[in-house]
Amino acid sequence: MTLPVHLVPTLEGVVVGSVVEVTGDEAHHAVAVRRLRVGEQVVLTDGEGRSVTGAVTTTGKRVFDVEVASVAAADRPSPAFTVVQALPKGDRGELAVEVLTEVGVDVVVPWAAARSVAVWKGERAAKSHAKWQATAREAGKQSRRSWLPTVTPLASTDAVRDLVADADLAVVLHEDATTALAGLDVPATGRIVVVVGPEGGIAPEELAALESAGARTVRLGDEVLRTSTAGVVAVAALLARTDRWR
């Protein structure tokens, strides 16, 4: 049975024998919802590569303490994966973030593509971004990641083009592409960017801008995937050809 994972702000300087206090919503959920008890073993992580394992020593209404029995540090995964996800309709955005986090994506970039049905503006933008962040945080704990992904603010096409230009490999998924994703050489280090368009597809001017910045337009196969699942399939296909999955 795997131990429950809880997120804390930092574990910097924590050593075996240290006592770490967990507070706020994280502690409330553990104590009030999960019924965390004294003596139970848990894992704490700060999402920056550090994690500890230890026993719960005290619990309160919105707090619990853990005495550290072991400490671990993980290197940042390489190559790093960034997925630019065009805003999908409904709750498919959270689904995309969840599965991208589970597969190991390092950065998720919400993209206001020209043909996106969903629109993030004003208060809705703040709430939607917060939902994506919360989804990434919970999925990261569920999948036991030491490094949690970053969900950036909403990006314009110009910002996405800049990401593509700085990447060691950038691909745009497109059903009409003649190049297969499986035929590309995958860099061993650096940053890989995968661009996923909206339900209505990437507009021709957007595709031209991304290609001019160095992106390769590729297809996954004969099947056409939903925007909420295309990214995770593409990343998995690329990850399988890196040391991260070997």
Domain ranges of the chain: 5-73, 80-245
**Could you tell me the CA-to-CA distances from 186 to 164, 175, 193 in Å, in that order?**
15, 21, 11
The pLDDT, as a whole number, for residue 1 is 63
Nearest to 113 by CA among 211, 32, 205, 181: 205
The pTM (predicted TM-score) of the whole model is 0.93
Question: Residue 2: is its pLDDT beyond 90?
Answer: no
Superfamily name with CATH number, domain 5-73: Hypothetical PUA domain-like; domain 1 (2.40.240.20)
The pLDDT, as a whole number, for residue 87 is 96
Mean pLDDT of 33-45: 96
Least confident span in 1-5, 120-124, 161-165, 191-195: 1-5
Which fold is adopted by the domain 80-245? Alpha/beta knot (3.40.1280)
The pLDDT, as a whole number, for residue 221 is 87
